[in-house]
């Protein structure tokens, strides 16, 4: 789709050239510094109080027509009041708002906020029924009747579409009804995992919802070693690196088994003479520069 459309994306995330004011989510100030208003393609329009920080080649870009936010991002809840501020500004400037809401269910479960309220500031929303909710497949696009009609037209234009999708719809309906209420328990289990890792001495970025980012090197364990040992357990645990995602099918026993393994490895390293470094990590995060919120 992107290769067939004249769309240009300008990233505004925690990166080498844009530092989020909040350190973990975009703010209205970040949006104002990156937005391109009007039809003058040779300058980057920003408020006088916010001088351009982007390279010249990025400042000479297409006018902004859509601001797309993601909630959650790496398990971090995007503050709703900041979303509303960004949305009000965008709509005043005639810019549309889109939400990547693949994991918006986790936000609703964590904050006890209705999905409708979380989505209200946006003109369009994409929702996923597999991430978080556990359906085998399925996403949907939400918007006005006219917007969805246009989206369907573009879907046909590019050869998209499916027949006999009732089975997928049934799975999505089941997930919404039966699995969505399980998410607070998922978050509690993720917090239990984070607390257990921290107790062992592993560096952990605070878990807000279902994701735990960890760094075992402070206790002498490498990711490669941990992945191998977890794979060799009587009941193997498949790990992929620094991100652990807890979901509705994750049992408390798996969390306990993983903590036992990491504790055992840490004790082996200590017995072999490993000494933990007390050097503080940047922003209290692990690994460095991970885009997650750090709780006070």
CATH number, domain with residue 250: 3.90.1150.10
Are 135 and 96 part of one and the same domain? Answer: yes
CB atoms within 10 A of CB 110: 18
Looking at the fold, whether 90 and 221 belong to one and the same domain comes out as no
Of 179, 209, 235, the position where a domain reaches its end is: 179
CA atoms within 13 A on the CB side of 53: 15
The count of structural domains within the chain is 2
In a shared domain, residues 50 and 191: no
pLDDT mean values, one per 10 residues, the chain (296 residues): 53 47 72 75 52 51 87 92 96 96 96 97 97 92 96 92 89 96 97 96 89 94 95 93 93 97 95 72 43 46
In this structure, the answer to whether residues 31 and 120 fall within a common structural domain is yes
Residues 166 and 189 in one domain: no
Assess whether 154 and 199 both reside in one domain.
no
Same domain for 261 and 220, yes or no, is: yes
**Residue 273 counted as domain residue:** yes
Contact indicator for 77, 209 with CB cutoff of 8 Å: yes
Element (H, E) at 141: strand 139-142
State the Cα–Cα distance between residues 10 and 68, nearest whole angstrom. 10
User: Could you tell me if 187 and 142 are in contact, meaning their C-beta atoms sit under 8 angstroms apart?
Assistant: no
In which domain, by residue range, is 100 found?
2-179
pLDDT digits (tens, 9 = 90+) for 106-119: 999 999 999 999 99
Q: Is residue 247 domain-resident? A: yes
**What pLDDT score does 46 carry?**
53
| CB of 137 closer than 8 Å to CB of 130 | yes
Is residue 80 domain-resident? yes
Q: Which of 179, 201, 220 lies at the terminal end of a domain, its last residue?
A: 179
Asked whether residue 34 falls in the same domain as residue 65, the answer is: yes
Answer with the one of 144, 179, 214 that is the final residue of a domain: 179
CB distance 231 to 180 below 8 Å: no
Cα 208 from Cα 210, distance rounded (Å): 7
Q: For the chain, percent helix, then strand, then coil, each to nearest 5?
A: 40, 10, 45
- To 5 degrees, how large is the angle CA 99–CA 121–CA 173? 60
Please give the torsion angle defined by the CA atoms of residues 228, 233, 236 and 239, in that order, rounded to the nearest 10 degrees.
-30
Same domain, 232 and 121: no
Do both 143 and 253 map to the same domain?
A: no
| pLDDT value, residue 207 | 76
Question: Which pLDDT belongs to residue 5?
Answer: 54
């Amino acid at each position: 789709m992107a290769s067939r459309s004249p769309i240009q994306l300008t990233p505004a995330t925690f990166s080498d050239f844009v530092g989020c004011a909040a350190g973990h989510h975009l703010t209205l100030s970040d949006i104002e510094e990156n937005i391109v208003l009007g039809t003058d393609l040779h300058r980057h329009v920003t408020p006088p109080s916010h001088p351009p920080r982007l390279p010249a080649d990025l400042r000479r870009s297409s006018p902004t027509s859509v601001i797309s936010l993601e909630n959650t991002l790496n398990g971090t809840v995007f503050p709703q009041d900041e979303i509303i501020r960004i949305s009000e500004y965008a709509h005043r400037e005639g810019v549309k708002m889109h939400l990547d809401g693949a994991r918006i269910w986790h936000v609703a479960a964590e904050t006890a906020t209705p999905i409708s309220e979380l989505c209200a500031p946006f003109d369009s929303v994409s929702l996923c029924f597999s991430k978080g909710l556990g359906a085998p497949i399925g996403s949907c696009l939400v918007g006005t009747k006219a917007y969805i009609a246009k989206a369907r037209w573009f879907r046909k234009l590019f050869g998209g579409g499916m027949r006999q999708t009732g089975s997928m719809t049934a799975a999505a309906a089941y997930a919404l009804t039966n699995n969505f209420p399980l998410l607070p328990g998922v978050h509690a289990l993720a917090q239990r995992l984070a607390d257990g890792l921290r107790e062992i001495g592993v560096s952990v970025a605070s878990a807000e919802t279902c994701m735990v980012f960890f760094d075992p090197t402070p206790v002498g364990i490498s990711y490669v070693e941990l992945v191998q040992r977890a794979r060799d357990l009587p009941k193997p645990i498949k790990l992929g690196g620094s991100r652990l995602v807890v979901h509705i099918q994750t049992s408390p026993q798996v969390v306990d088994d993983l903590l036992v393994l990491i504790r055992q490895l840490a004790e082996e390293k200590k017995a072999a003479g490993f000494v933990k470094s007390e050097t503080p990590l940047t922003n209290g995060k692990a690994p460095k520069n991970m885009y997650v919120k750090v709780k006070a």
